A and B are shown apart, each in its own frame.
Chain A
Amino acid sequence: MSAKAFKQPPMLRLASSIFIIVWLILAAFPFFWTLWGSFKVELDFFSKADWRNALTGARTVAEHGSAFTTNGYEGAWVQEEFWRAVLNTFIVCFFVVTISLTFGTLGGYALSRSGFRYTFWLLIAALIFRAMPPITLVSGYLLPFFEWNLWGILPTTIIVLVAINQPFTLWMLHSFFQKIPKELDESAKVDGCSQFQAFRHVIIPVMWPGVITTGLFSFLLAYNDFAVTSMLLSKENQTMVPKIASFLGTTQTEGNVMFAVAAVVSATAPLFVLVMFFQRQIVSGLTQGAVKG
């Protein structure tokens, strides 16, 4: 085929380039703006007098002698103990990902290899649960947690997040395992492996791409969750997102908004890195269900 036939006329090319540039600005500009602004004082970031102040940092220079200040970060990390929230977030994320992947791989493998009717119903149930807002479940958890005095600590939150995450993990890994040909474990069994050995020696080595993709998404769910963590964790145990929300509620005095801005930037940074390294997996994970359907 000739590449020329597919070439766009210049006008269309221009229009589509402009559109892409506009979209890029829409998508990325807020992040860079906030990153830049997080090193300023509040009067610059929210400048009533002149919007260019936010770029040059006129008030920041007046107050601190240079156009950049790390006051916001200091206030957030040291004074408001944001590091504790960061630590909690990573504990929660780590355990949620590990636990839900363990159950997800075993369950997904079992479901994809069993031919019974109930597997269909289990998967449909998983889909329905996936559709429900997590917050509707939280009110169901709260009462027993209060009664057993389990409220406010990390392990219960991890359990709830795993439970919310499980339908999705199961669904994704199920469709992934279905793509691994059945002949693979059948031939292993012919060679004398038990079902478990077949899983251990044949399936585990080839399952990593799917597991990593699923793990990424469970990580994002645990990291991004607000409804569950803010309801189920006490003040000392809060993770990042509810912590940021609580900054907003309590600290409207001057300068403290910048704590929240700095905290937001700190919480976004890991996601940036994540997208940078795992872009391919994220894209493939998002489309996995789609291409099948």
Chain B
Amino acid sequence: MLLFIALPIVSVVMQSLYTPHKQVIKVVENCGPFGCKEATTVDQTATEQLRKEQPLGQFSGLKIYLDRGHLATKEIAEAWSTRSSLGDFFSAVGNLPFYRALSFTLTYTFVVTPLLIILGFIIAIAVNSLHRHLKGLVIFFSLLPMIVTPLIGSLILFWMVDSRGILGSALQWLVNNPDLSLKASTELTWIMLMVYGVWHSAPFAFVVFYAGLQTLPQDALESSMIDGATRWQQIRYVIIPHLMPLVTFVALIQLMDNFRVFEPIVGFNAEAHAQSLSWIIFNDLGGETRLLSSAATTSVLTIIGVAILLSPVLVKTWQDFKVKT
């Protein structure tokens, strides 16, 4: 594990500090019968040799981190000094690829996670009151959106919301606008992706909460009823406190999963309107050019983001551990 995961991380960090070599240019004098001409050519052997000597490329330090594709400190400073209003500044920052992706990733994470917890909780409560024989069937169908491959799930939904698909037509009919296309506008694309995210992850929350409901102490419920608690009060004061540790667990797992949102963007073909950090890495790696060091830089920044997200949990685990020993 250390070998295969820790080493790649080291390699990623290393790569992010280097840029590919520039080709060595040399000036040669071509002397022909009509006099001498100077021409610049690429010195293949020298380039090869340089590449061999330093296979990682030029050491560029933190330069890539600060360039336009990533943290873009210079552009931000410029936008800040030339700003006319705060909104202006933010829209300038929003045009930089890294910040655009970061804003989508964060919005996605923090919108989807609470929504799916709420939805999963309601489903769990509703399923729990069902008849025993129906439960198995309902659980089977509820699991499907989660188990199915994210890319495939998003494709299935994508075809349905296509302007010629069933949901797309239904929406056009609902708002009475035959030209409505979810793919054309940024806001609608974001909403579509988030709806997909909730659809995909709600079953997980549902299953965990449902299992939690099975361990609910019946006498606590009963005594609350004797004390005259209404149904709503039972949920509020007995069930929710009982499930609270599970909510933390689900929130933690889903924060991690949603932060690396990637497949739906490919599936929904939404690259033009919504990019996530993972998608930027994928895009850099793929294609003709394979911008390894750029991808590596984004990777490092993403890892830092994950670490920041996880830090409260880590601190808490550390404290628990210290108490135990």
Binding stretch for chain B, among A174-182, A187-195, A284-292: A284-292
Query: Which residues of B have CB within 8 Å of A224?
Result: 149-151
**B278/A275 in contact, CB under 8 A:** no
Q: Mark A244-280, 1 if CB is under 8 A from B, else 0.
A: 1100100000000000110010011001101110010
**A264/B155 in contact, CB under 8 A:** yes
In residues 9-47 of chain A, which contact B (Cβ within 8 Å)?
A: 12-13, 16, 19-20, 23-24, 26-28, 30-31, 33-34, 37, 45-47
Is A207 interfacial (CB-CB < 8 Å)?
no
**B130/A27 in contact, CB under 8 A:** no
CA distance A230 to B279 in the complex (A): 13
Query: Which residues of A have CB within 8 Å of B310?
Result: 128, 131
Is A92 interfacial (CB-CB < 8 Å)?
no
Query: Which residues of B have CB within 8 Å of A276?
Result: 140
Query: Which residues of A have CB within 8 Å of B220?
Result: none
CA distance A290 to B218 in the complex (A): 20
CA distance A13 to B156 in the complex (A): 32
Query: Which residues of B have CB within 8 Å of A271?
Result: 147-149
Q: Mark B159-177, 1 if CB is under 8 A from A, else 0.
A: 1101011100110000000
**A286/B204 in contact, CB under 8 A:** yes
Query: Which residues of B have CB within 8 Å of A141?
Result: 8, 11
In residues 182-227 of chain A, which contact B (Cβ within 8 Å)?
A: 220, 223-224, 226-227
Binding stretch for chain A, among B21-29, B89-97, B108-116, B292-300: B292-300
Closest to B321 in A: A120
Closest to B211 in A: A287
Query: Which residues of A have CB within 8 Å of B282?
Result: 135, 227, 231
The minimal Cβ–Cβ distance linking A148 to chain B, given in whole angstroms, is 12
**A290/B212 in contact, CB under 8 A:** yes
Is B157 interfacial (CB-CB < 8 Å)?
yes
Closest to A31 in B: B144
Closest to B12 in A: A140
Count of B residues near A, CB < 8 Å?
93
Query: Which residues of A have CB within 8 Å of B256?
Result: 130-131
Is A142 interfacial (CB-CB < 8 Å)?
yes
Query: Which residues of B have CB within 8 Å of A45?
Result: 159, 165
Query: Which residues of A have CB within 8 Å of B147?
Result: 220, 271, 274-275, 282
**B281/A139 in contact, CB under 8 A:** yes
In residues 197-211 of chain B, which contact A (Cβ within 8 Å)?
A: 199, 203-204, 207-208, 211
Binding stretch for chain B, among A58-66, A68-76, A77-85, A159-167: A159-167
The count of A-to-B residue pairs whose CB atoms sit within 8 angstroms is 236
**A163/B292 in contact, CB under 8 A:** no
CA distance A34 to B138 in the complex (A): 20
Q: Mark A144-171, 1 if CB is under 8 A from B, else 0.
A: 1001000000000001101110110010
Binding stretch for chain A, among B35-43, B65-73, B186-194, B258-266: B258-266
**B4/A163 in contact, CB under 8 A:** yes
The minimal Cβ–Cβ distance linking A199 to chain B, given in whole angstroms, is 20
| A138-B285, A224-B150, A286-B208 known; A20+B299 contact, CB < 8 A | no
Is B222 interfacial (CB-CB < 8 Å)?
yes
Is B181 interfacial (CB-CB < 8 Å)?
no
Closest to B267 in A: A245
The minimal Cβ–Cβ distance linking A237 to chain B, given in whole angstroms, is 16
| A1-B222, A140-B299 known; A244+B152 contact, CB < 8 A | yes
Describe A's contact surface by its main secondary structure: helix
Q: Size class of A's contact patch?
A: 35 or more
**A275/B143 in contact, CB under 8 A:** yes
**B156/A34 in contact, CB under 8 A:** yes
**B166/A51 in contact, CB under 8 A:** yes
Query: Which residues of A have CB within 8 Å of B166?
Result: 33, 51, 54
CA distance A131 to B109 in the complex (A): 14
Q: Mark B121-133, 1 if CB is under 8 A from A, else 0.
A: 0110111011000
Query: Which residues of B have CB within 8 Å of A282?
Result: 143, 147
The minimal Cβ–Cβ distance linking B255 to chain A, given in whole angstroms, is 9
The minimal Cβ–Cβ distance linking B127 to chain A, given in whole angstroms, is 7
Closest to A129 in B: B5
**A231/B314 in contact, CB under 8 A:** no
**B126/A132 in contact, CB under 8 A:** no
Closest to A147 in B: B55
| A132-B303, A279-B143, A286-B207 known; A244+B151 contact, CB < 8 A | yes
CA distance A124 to B147 in the complex (A): 26
Closest to A34 in B: B156
Query: Which residues of A have CB within 8 Å of B125?
Result: 16
Is B60 interfacial (CB-CB < 8 Å)?
no
From B127, B144, B207, B262, contact of A287 by CB (8 A): B207
Is A172 interfacial (CB-CB < 8 Å)?
no
**A133/B302 in contact, CB under 8 A:** yes
Is B317 interfacial (CB-CB < 8 Å)?
yes
From B162, B292, B306, contact of A143 by CB (8 A): B292
Closest to A242 in B: B151
The minimal Cβ–Cβ distance linking B300 to chain A, given in whole angstroms, is 8
29 examples of A-B residue contacts, CB within 8 angstroms: A1-B218, A8-B129, A16-B125, A20-B127, A30-B156, A33-B166, A46-B164, A46-B165, A48-B164, A125-B1, A128-B310, A131-B309, A133-B277, A135-B281, A135-B282, A136-B302, A137-B9, A137-B299, A138-B285, A139-B284, A140-B12, A159-B4, A163-B1, A170-B1, A227-B282, A245-B266, A248-B269, A260-B155, A290-B246
